[in-house]
Amino acid sequence: MNDLQEKLAAWNGEQLLTSIDHPTNSLICIGIHSSVLGPATGGTRMQTYATPEAAISDCLALSKSMTHKFALANFPRGGGKAVISVPASLTPTEKRGLLERYGQLLSRLKGLFYTGPDMGITPEDLNTMGQYAPDYVFCRTNASGQANNSGDATALGVLSAIKSTVKYLEGVDDLKDKTIVVQGAGSVGSALIKLLLHEKSKVIFTDIHEPNERLINDGAVFVSPAKIYHQEGIIFCPCAQGGILNETNIQQLHCKAVVGAANNQLSHPEAIQQLQTNNILYAPDFAVNIGGAMAITGMEALQWSQEKASAEIAKIGDTIEMIYIIATHKKISTVDAALQIVEERLTKK
Catalytic annotation, residues: 81
User: What pairs with residue 221 in β-bridges?
Assistant: 204
Closer residue to ligand PHE, CB minimum distance, 117 or 233: 117
Closer residue to ligand PHE, CB minimum distance, 136 or 168: 136
Closer residue to ligand PHE, CB minimum distance, 42 or 233: 42
User: Is residue 78 at the binding interface for ligand PHE, with CB under 6 A as the rule?
Assistant: no
Q: Within positions 150 to 169, which residues make up the interface with ligand PHE, using CB under 6 A? A: 150
Instruction: Give the list of residues 6+ apart from residue 328 with CB closer than 8 angstroms, or none.
Output: none
H-type alpha helices, the chain: 3-11, 52-72, 92-109, 123-130, 151-170, 187-198, 213-217, 247-252, 271-277, 285-288, 291-301, 306-314, 316-330, 334-348
Q: Which of 31, 38, 79, 117 binds ligand PHE (CB under 6 A)?
A: 117
Q: Give dist(CA 248, CA 101) in Å, integer.
A: 42
Q: Give dist(CA 319, CA 338) in Å, integer.
A: 9
Q: Within positions 294 to 323, which residues make up the interface with ligand PHE, using CB under 6 A? A: 296-297
User: Is residue 123 at the binding interface for ligand PHE, with CB under 6 A as the rule?
Assistant: no
Q: Which stretch binds ligand PHE (CB under 6 A): 10-18, 95-103, 291-299, 338-346?
A: 291-299
User: Is residue 189 at the binding interface for ligand PHE, with CB under 6 A as the rule?
Assistant: no
Q: Which stretch binds ligand PHE (CB under 6 A): 5-13, 35-43, 242-250, 324-332?
A: 35-43
User: Is residue 106 at the binding interface for ligand PHE, with CB under 6 A as the rule?
Assistant: no
Q: In angstroms, what is the minimal distance from the CB of 261 to ligand PHE?
A: 9
Size of the site for ligand PHE (CB under 6 A): 15
User: What pairs with residue 28 in β-bridges?
Assistant: 19, 84
Q: In angstroms, what is the minimal distance from the CB of 243 to ligand PHE?
A: 15
Helices and strands in the chain: count of H runs, count of E runs: 14, 11
Q: Which of 293, 313, 338, 339 binds ligand PHE (CB under 6 A)?
A: 293
Closer residue to ligand PHE, CB minimum distance, 97 or 134: 134
Shortest CA distance to 43 belongs to which of 82, 15, 85?
82
Q: Give dist(CA 236, CA 102) in Å, integer.
A: 36
Q: Give dist(CA 113, CA 331) in Å, integer.
A: 37
Q: Which stretch binds ligand PHE (CB under 6 A): 32-40, 168-176, 290-298, 340-348?
A: 290-298
User: What pairs with residue 235 in β-bridges?
Assistant: 180, 257
Nearest position to ligand PHE, beta carbon: 116
Binding mask 318-347 for ligand PHE (x = CB under 6 A): ------------------------------
User: Is residue 292 at the binding interface for ligand PHE, with CB under 6 A as the rule?
Assistant: yes
Q: Give dist(CA 77, CA 42) in Å, integer.
A: 9
Q: In angstroms, what is the minimal distance from the CB of 78 to ligand PHE?
A: 12
Q: Within positions 250 to 269, which residues make up the interface with ligand PHE, using CB under 6 A? A: 263
CA quadruple 330, 271, 189, 115: dihedral positive or negative?
negative
Q: For residue 141, with 0-12 CB atoms within 10 Å meaning exposed, 13-18 middle and 19 or more buried, which class applies?
A: middle
User: Is residue 116 at the binding interface for ligand PHE, with CB under 6 A as the rule?
Assistant: yes
User: Is residue 42 at the binding interface for ligand PHE, with CB under 6 A as the rule?
Assistant: yes
Q: In angstroms, what is the minimal distance from the CB of 308 to ligand PHE?
A: 16
Closer residue to ligand PHE, CB minimum distance, 45 or 178: 45
User: What pairs with residue 78 in β-bridges?
Assistant: 40
User: What pairs with residue 40 in β-bridges?
Assistant: 78, 113
Q: Give dist(CA 232, CA 50) in Å, integer.
A: 34
User: Is residue 242 at the binding interface for ligand PHE, with CB under 6 A as the rule?
Assistant: no
Report the interface residues with ligand PHE, using CB under 6 A: 41-43, 116-118, 138-139, 150, 263, 289, 292-293, 296-297
